[in-house]
Amino acid sequence: MTIREQMELRESEYLSPYAARSRDSAGREREEEECDIRPVFQRDRDRILHCKSFRRMKQKTQVFLLPKGDHYRTRLTHTLEVSQNARTIAKALRLNEDLVEAIALGHDLGHTPFGHAGEYALNRVCPLGFRHNEQSVRVVECLERQGEGLNLTWEVRDGIWNHKFCCTPHTLEGQIVRLSDKIAYINHDIDDAIRGNILSEEDIPPEYRRVLGSSTRIRLDTMIHDVITHSMDQPQISMSSEVMEAMLGLRRFMYENVYKNPAAKGEEDKAVKMIENLYGYYMKHPGAMPRQFLIKMENGESGKEQTVCDYIAGMTDTYAIKKFEEYFIPESWKI
């Protein structure tokens, strides 16, 4: 019996009846020889962790564009916080931690430079539309590894696709990530807003502080405990109505006071125009994109609009600025 088979046997003995088991996975789009050490979801986690798209998230905006301080969240640190919250919940509920971690680490791989401002820009100019959850699946299916994709299991791809609040993942592990994403960004965005003097703790409405707590640490603890308590031995992941209503109210408060605050988001219009101009440039000059993207167009794997979106969405904030300057900002005359 291989190490992998021993680990799969332990899963069957230990995990909740509602957990996704590695050996029962719906499988991959392309069949592969099994690893003798790692179950399939652990293998998926490792592939995501080592891919280029994952590393590029360290220079992609979470909320504050190109923040000067070292302690503001980026898309990468957001992802790591989602993963930690999700693993804590999964461990307590005896669900599959490997699957939870793989989904969490991959859920934002398709996010654009400049966060939701970049997503808004591509969705506005591309006739196909643009949604970061769908792009994240596209990254792992057909963009990573020079177009081969990571060939992840169905359960991981389902969790990545359905991590938005309006969607419902088919596994409880995916449902954990869906909630953990909201828990993470609401709390760390408050922390960053306080750090940036956009908010103070006292600005948060008392009705939400009464239910959730009066600090980021306490609010995280309250929400995670509530998910665990109300999901224990249940066929779905949920919160109590009181905590859910308070969390959604806090989310609305953040939209009005931070996500739309001119002091925090005043540069977003410039970022939107930058992405729109880059899209227009590559539509007129597709040859300026790397060869691996042109091959997909030549082979008919994707049209020009999709290919341009693929290229721009993969850029970091700094690389997008660099390309914009290269195409649109004149250089000094050199002899």
Residue 213's CATH number: 1.10.3210.10
What was the pLDDT predicted at 334?
A: 67
Tell me, yes or no, whether 328 lies in a domain: no
Amino acid at 65: L
Q: What is the pLDDT of residues 144-181, one digit of tens each?
A: 999 999 999 999 999 999 999 899 999 999 999 999 99
Distance, first Cα to last Cα, the chain: 70
b/e map 157-186, b = 16+ CB within 10 Å: bbbbbbbeeeeebebbbbbbbbbbbbbbbb
Provide the number of structural domains found in the chain: 1
Domain containing residue 257: 45-276+308-322
User: Which residue bears the tokens 């005896």?
Assistant: 94
What was the pLDDT predicted at 95?
A: 98
Residue 76 to residue 63: CA distance in whole angstroms? 12
Q: What is the pLDDT of residues 219-253, one digit of tens each?
A: 999 999 999 999 999 999 999 999 999 999 999 99
Tell me, yes or no, whether 265 lies in a domain: yes
Query: Can you say whether the dihedral through the CA atoms of 141, 142, 148, 150 is positive or negative?
Result: negative
Tell me, yes or no, whether 21 lies in a domain: no
Residue 17 pLDDT exceeds 70:
yes
Contacts 24+ apart (CB under 8 A), 229-236: 231/89, 231/93, 231/172, 232/92, 232/93, 233/16, 233/18, 234/18, 235/18, 235/172, 236/172, 236/175
Instruction: Give the DSSP letter of residue 333.
Output: P
Tell me, yes or no, whether 16 lies in a domain: no
CB neighbours of 216 closer than 8 A, spacing ≥ 6? 187, 188, 190, 191
Say if CB 63 and CB 264 are below 8 A apart: yes
Say if CB 135 and CB 123 are below 8 A apart: no
What was the pLDDT predicted at 9?
A: 97
Q: Which residues pair with 74 in a beta bridge?
A: 61
Amino acid at 168: T
Segment 71-88 mean pLDDT: 97
Amino acid at 94: R
Strands (E), 136-216: none
Q: How many alpha carbons fall within 13 Å on the CB side of residue 25?
A: 26
Tell me, yes or no, whether 183 lies in a domain: yes
b/e map 282-316, b = 16+ CB within 10 Å: beeeeeebeeebeebbeeeebeebbbbbbbbbbbb
Tell me, yes or no, whether 64 lies in a domain: yes
Using alpha carbons, list the distances in angstroms from residue 325 to 99, 102, 143, 278: 41, 36, 26, 10
- Pairwise pLDDT comparison (63 vs 103), residue with the higher score: 103
Tell me, yes or no, whether 230 lies in a domain: yes
Tell me, yes or no, whether 165 lies in a domain: yes
- Pairwise pLDDT comparison (259 vs 130), residue with the higher score: 130
What was the pLDDT predicted at 264?
A: 65
What was the pLDDT predicted at 67?
A: 74
Residue 213 to residue 228: CA distance in whole angstroms? 17
Residue 328 to residue 204: CA distance in whole angstroms? 42
CB neighbours of 246 closer than 8 A, spacing ≥ 6? 207, 208, 211, 212
Structure tokens at 85: 């919250």
pTM (predicted TM-score): 0.96
Average pLDDT, the chain: 95
What was the pLDDT predicted at 262?
A: 78
Segment 9-29 mean pLDDT: 97
